[in-house]
Structure 1
Amino acid sequence: MFIFIFLCWSLSGVFGVDAVKSVSVTEGESVTLNTDTEIQTGELIMWRTGHNSLIAKIKGNIFERFRDRLTLNEKTGSLTITNTRTTDSGLYRVISTRSKMPLNTFNLTVYARLPVPVISHSSKQSSSSSSSNCSLLCSVLNESDATLSWYAGMSVLSSISLSDLRVNLSLPLEIECLDDAYSCVLNNTISNQTTHLNTELCRSCSGPVSESLIVLISSSSVAGSLMIVAAAVGIFCICKKHRKTDREVQTRDREITYADPTFYKRHKTRQSAVESDAVVYGGVMRR
């Protein structure tokens, strides 16, 4: 660490802070460090590490430290490192025989591939938590230079950053139920790994209805049914009463019609010498 700080201070003092270019890559990927120039006739290009160790030059062999993982562009002198490793991290300088100052200086950081966080039940609960709460633990093993965080949707609930030392780390979380999309994220400068929480570990807030709520809903349904039946009976009685009243009114409004009278002549009898006609009315028929 002291050597790194000293080299940075030396380079910033001689070439300025902006002269050091930061480059990041994930382990296993390739990276190219450009010279931003073209090689002139008779020019010699050399690449050195922060410890001033020669690792490659345009005229000659590439040194054994990188074996077959280094290539040089013959026109520009740019250096390409394939199948990068975390041990490749550090300062790189490209030097030309036509200049007293380095053409470019790079601070290369090779990050290890991030593991996928593991979410599990936590065996520990806080003293203030309820027994019905869901206690979780998000863990990563042997990791460094990264941040472990709990998310609810897009909001960060808690996080912790890992140091340069590789350690095992766990981040707890306690919730009542799944009312959002919870996830645990491990990330560094250039990549991230995410694990989403599912209902296998915690019940959903919109999950099964409690027994008391079921009883309440059932009681409400019965009461509603009784009200509907009572209303139907009331309507039936009202309709029946109206039909009866209508029949009575119709009966009272009917007209009484008399039949046409029929006249009969009474025959003369011996007892009476007076001849007279008697009128006899027929029966009345009501319709």
Structure 2
Amino acid sequence: MFQFLLCHNGCFFSEVFLKLPTGQCWRVVNGAVGESAVLSGTNDSIRVTNLQWVKSDIIIMQRFNGSITIYNQAYEGRLTLSEKHGSLTINPLIKNDSGEYTFESLPPLSPQEKHVIKLNVYDRIVSVEMNSRVSYSPDNSTCTVTLSCTVKGSVVELSWAKDRKKIPDTEGKETLVVTPTAGEELYSCTASNPVSSQTASLRNCDLQAK
């Protein structure tokens, strides 16, 4: 199951629920650098008094008998723990926050509740720029155009389209070589990741074959 969640400052982050073979629920949360993400605690209606959050087998935060201790200085001033369910809000996010987090309830709650959340932190894609370069045959009778796509941000997927239809076998390629025709064509490059997407387009009007 996949869902988008709205955080308190109006930004969006996404959460995916995956069912492991053991029956344990493993959640995937995607967030953007400089924004916030919420790692869900217990779904139980009973308040969890004692709990801890662990990242890569190292305790980063613990609440015991009402006292909260942060063990990792990298999180100082960036963690908020919900009173009832123990959900952990990280704000603002940095790239190094990416990793696997484990929520663990501590005694006297029985049975112990435990689940794993994988947090992925990305830079938002803030710009996509397309450029073109024309190459002519030796006798200048034909030409090709090399389109290049420059992206600022964390790119997970890069794709090309012609007249808004995706071009096969171009995924991940930063350049595309095309042969201009007499008609008008629209070429687009789209860069995306789980938290953002940007598209740049270029028409070949000024590069039409003569």
TM-score, scaled relative to structure 1: 0.54
Q: Do residues 146 (structure 1) and 156 (structure 2) align?
A: yes
- Per-residue deviation at 1:189? 2.9
TM-aligned CA distance change 1:193 to 1:17, over 3 Å: farther
TM-aligned CA distance change 1:66 to 1:32, over 3 Å: same
Q: Do residues 159 (structure 1) and 170 (structure 2) align?
A: yes
- Per-residue deviation at 1:134? 3.4
Q: Which residue of 2 aligns with 1:175?
A: 179
Q: Do the aligned residues in 1 keep the contact of 2:155 with 2:191 (CA within 8 Å)?
A: no
For 2:188 and 2:28, the matched residues in 1 are separated by: 31
Higher relative contact order (CA 8 A, sep 6+): 2
Q: Do the aligned residues in 2 keep the contact of 1:39 with 1:77 (CA within 8 Å)?
A: no
2:191 to 186, 195, 207: 186
TM-aligned CA distance change 1:102 to 1:124, over 3 Å: farther
Q: What is the number of residues matched between the two proteins?
A: 182
- Per-residue deviation at 1:197? 0.9
Q: Secondary structure at the match of 1:76?
A: coil
For 1:78 and 1:181, the matched residues in 2 are separated by: 47
For 2:137 and 2:170, the matched residues in 1 are separated by: 18
For 1:38 and 1:78, the matched residues in 2 are separated by: 13
For 1:148 and 1:125, the matched residues in 2 are separated by: 27
Q: Which residue of 1 aligns with 2:125?
A: 114
Paired letter, 1:62 = I
For 2:145 and 2:23, the matched residues in 1 are separated by: 50
1:56 to 58, 61, 68: 61
Q: Do the aligned residues in 2 keep the contact of 1:122 with 1:172 (CA within 8 Å)?
A: no
More helix by share: 1
Show CA shifts across 1:43-75 (max 9, x none). Answer: 3111111x2211112322333221111100112
Pairing of 1:259-274 with structure 2 (within 5 A)? none
Q: Which residue of 2 aligns with 1:137?
A: 148
Q: Do residues 20 (structure 1) and 22 (structure 2) align?
A: no
Pairing of 1:32-51 with structure 2 (within 5 A)? 32-35=38-41, 36-38=43-45, 40=47, 43-49=49-55, 51=56
Show CA shifts across 1:99-131 (max 9, x none). Answer: 46443220111112224222112365789x964
Q: Do the aligned residues in 2 keep the contact of 1:86 with 1:110 (CA within 8 Å)?
A: yes
TM-aligned CA distance change 1:195 to 1:145, over 3 Å: closer
- Per-residue deviation at 1:144? 5.4
Paired letter, 1:48 = V
For 2:134 and 2:101, the matched residues in 1 are separated by: 48
- Per-residue deviation at 1:186? 0.7
Q: Do the aligned residues in 2 keep the contact of 1:120 with 1:137 (CA within 8 Å)?
A: yes
Q: Do the aligned residues in 2 keep the contact of 1:148 with 1:171 (CA within 8 Å)?
A: no
Q: Secondary structure at the match of 1:122?
A: strand
For 1:78 and 1:55, the matched residues in 2 are separated by: 14
2:78 to 69, 83, 98: 69
Q: Do the aligned residues in 2 keep the contact of 1:95 with 1:102 (CA within 8 Å)?
A: yes
TM-score, scaled relative to structure 2: 0.71
For 1:126 and 1:53, the matched residues in 2 are separated by: 62
Paired letter, 2:44 = T
Larger Rg, first or second structure (1 or 2): 1
More strand by share: 2
- Per-residue deviation at 1:192? 1.0
For 1:124 and 1:117, the matched residues in 2 are separated by: 23
**Structure 1: where are the runs of 5+ without partners?**
1-11, 162-168, 211-287
Q: Do the aligned residues in 1 keep the contact of 2:186 with 2:201 (CA within 8 Å)?
A: yes
Q: Do the aligned residues in 2 keep the contact of 1:149 with 1:171 (CA within 8 Å)?
A: no
